[in-house]
Amino acid sequence: HSTQVAIVGGGPSGLLLSQLLHVNGIDSVILERKDRAYVEGRIRAGVLEQGMVDLMRRAGVSDRLDREGLVHGGIEIAGNGKRQRIPMDELTGGKVVTVYGQTEVTKDLIAARLAAGGEIVFDADGVTPHAIDTDAPYLTYRKDGVDQRLDCRYIAGCDGFHGVCRASLPQGAINVYEKVYPFAWLGILARVAPVADELIYAHHDRGFALFSMRSNKISRNYVQVSPDEDIANWSDDRVWEELSLRLGPDGGDLVKEGPVFEKSITPMRSFVAEPMRHGALFLAGDAAHIVPPTGAKGLNLAASDIHYLSEGLIAYFNRDDAEPLARYSDAAVARVWKAERFSWWMTSLLHKFPGGDRAFEEQMQLAEIEYLLSSRAAQTVLAENYVGLPY
Ligand code: FAD
Ligand code: DHB
């Protein structure tokens, strides 16, 4: 069969693109390798910039987000035995972030696509792009053991870091930049009220810790661990103990334990592939770039890509104007590098780097945290990036 835009990957990028195209009268089909329950259950990000919330509204899928999302006007930074609130709203002329899990974003988008009669092919095996150097590209795949072909005008590669789209581009078509960090995050979800009303990012000599949430009853906390750490070494008790220690002097009083119902380890890397287009194939989201999670930019960067890509496709199909689509990669990449810089900076500021002879670097880290906690100018820089740079 055929469609206007064939979308590979039914994560947040692919789903949001499909829904935004739909409300603008453009037809798309999503090919997703996994099943619906797997996609909806994948526990990842939790902090949405205003730009992403606005996109969800424009896509007509913000009812539950508007009702249940927790609006946060600040974050706290702990380090050097202190803890201090950074009033992001005050420093940015009223901008805020919304805490709402990626699982909920994908559930809302899948429900909206299916309710509108949209086609999502789950369990699509062996998806392969063809003829991307032409005006008539197509995808082949297998569904229930039967070979299928999907013709289209454009392909959107929204298939994540390990997807097929970037991997299928010819050698030399894109430049790749990468940095792997010497640590990882162990994350838990627990049925207990969060430590504080807002997120706390903590620097500590034992390693970084982050206190986040999914609701007033569910905590989402992370501790820095070694990248080759065996999760079996981390009992719930050990995780709570480290969280208490790393929060600083009053950590033991603040951290309340509760039943842990999810625990996993995330490696950390920075990665950019550009340009984000080759012929009729566009890359968006994690398929084109990865940020380390400090700063909560991964999902939000996927959303800004989809903003530029959807605007380009809408101009092309509805107004016969190919210009915005031609500018897609340049527009998206410019914002990607700024978010890469911020995520790299916040990661470098707050983590304990392993290895000996780092006394000078550690003093620099402490001095930078002190500066951040005492300078309104430094806090403004953090705040304007954290709430999200304009599209
Ligand atoms: P994905 O969510 O990866 O979706 C890609 C989709 O494509 C998947 O459904 C996949 O099954 C499908 N797919 C892959 N290959 C194929 C194929 N060959 N054929 C068909 N379909 C395919 N960001 C934050 O901001 N904060 C966090 O705390 C955070 N934690 C994270 C934890 C982990 C373990 C990971 C991996 C990421 C985390 N991120 C976090 C990043 C954030 O979740 C991603 O940036 C976001 O999911 C990107 O969305 P996406 O749709 O581009 O990619
Ligand atoms: C969460 C994840 C992040 O990477 C972050 O910076 C803040 C919050 C979270 O999962 O809640």
For the stretch 63-83, pLDDT in tens is: 999 999 999 999 999 999 999
| Residue boundaries of the structural domains of the chain | 5-71+95-177+269-345, 181-268+353-386
| CA atoms of 269 and 252, how far apart (whole Å) | 31
Set 12, 137, 293, 324: catalytic member: 293
Does residue 316 have an active-site annotation?
no
Does residue 100 have an active-site annotation?
no
Task: State the distance from the centre of ligand 1 to the C-alpha of 104, rounded, in angstroms.
Answer: 14
Q: E strands within the chain?
A: 5-8, 28-31, 47-48, 70-72, 75-79, 82-86, 97-99, 119-121, 125-130, 138-143, 146-151, 154-157, 175-190, 200-202, 209-213, 219-225, 260-274, 277-278, 281-283, 289-290
* Closest ligand, as measured to the CA of 42: 1
**Does the structural domain 5-71+95-177+269-345 have CATH classification 3.50.50.60?**
yes
Q: Does pLDDT of 25 surpass 90?
A: yes
> Which residue puts its alpha carbon closest to atom 7 of ligand 2?
296
329 CB burial (10 A radius; 0-12, 13-18, 19+)? buried
**pLDDT class of 356 with cuts at 50, 70, 90:** confident
Q: Which atom of ligand 2 is nearest to the CA of 298?
A: 4
Task: State the distance from the centre of ligand 2 to the C-alpha of 146, rounded, in angstroms.
Answer: 40
Tens of pLDDT, residue by residue over 277-298, are: 999 999 999 999 999 999 999 9
Task: State the distance from the centre of ligand 1 to the C-alpha of 191, rounded, in angstroms.
Answer: 24
Give me the phi and psi of 188, to 5 degrees please: -125, 150
- Give me the mean pLDDT over the 120-137 stretch: 98
ipTM given for this complex = 0.97
Does residue 297 have an active-site annotation?
yes
181-268+353-386: what CATH class? alpha beta
